Amino acid sequence: MSKEWPLWEVFIRGQHGLSHRHVGSLHAPDAAMAVHHARDVYTRRNEGVSIWVVEAKHITASAPGEKGPLFEPSNSKVYRHPTFYDIPEEVGHM
């Protein structure tokens, strides 16, 4: 058994938020204790109503070196932003 606990990434749904957001990471021996630790470390100031944890090794990330091909092509495609519509006032926040 390794002496070091595995790393977990923590996602919290805020009081008024619609989706879980990544808030940080912590160490824990398993998922149940990771949720306990997340509660103790990341919700002390009333930040959340729901917690997700996922072991960091299960996250697959994009490579920083591929930034160009992955993200730059969308820079020039302004028509993908819905800024050409008039939104009626009564619709409110979208």
- Residue 10 contacts other proteins per CB under 8 A: no
Distance in Å, CB of 28 to other proteins, minimum: 7
Task: Give the C-alpha separation, 6 to 31, whole Å.
Answer: 10
The piece of 14-22, 23-31, 49-57, 79-87 that touches other proteins (CB under 8 A) is: 23-31
- Residue 28 contacts other proteins per CB under 8 A: yes
Residue pair 12/42 in contact by the 8 Å Cβ criterion: yes
Q: DSSP assignment, residue 28?
A: -
What phi, psi does 93 have (nearest 5°)? -75, 130
Number of residues that bind other proteins (CB under 8 A): 13
- Residue 3 contacts other proteins per CB under 8 A: no
Nearer to other proteins, 7 or 70 (CB): 7
Q: Which helix (H) or strand (E) holds 70?
A: helix 67-71
37-56: which residues touch other proteins (CB under 8 A)?
37, 39-41, 44
- Residue 23 contacts other proteins per CB under 8 A: no
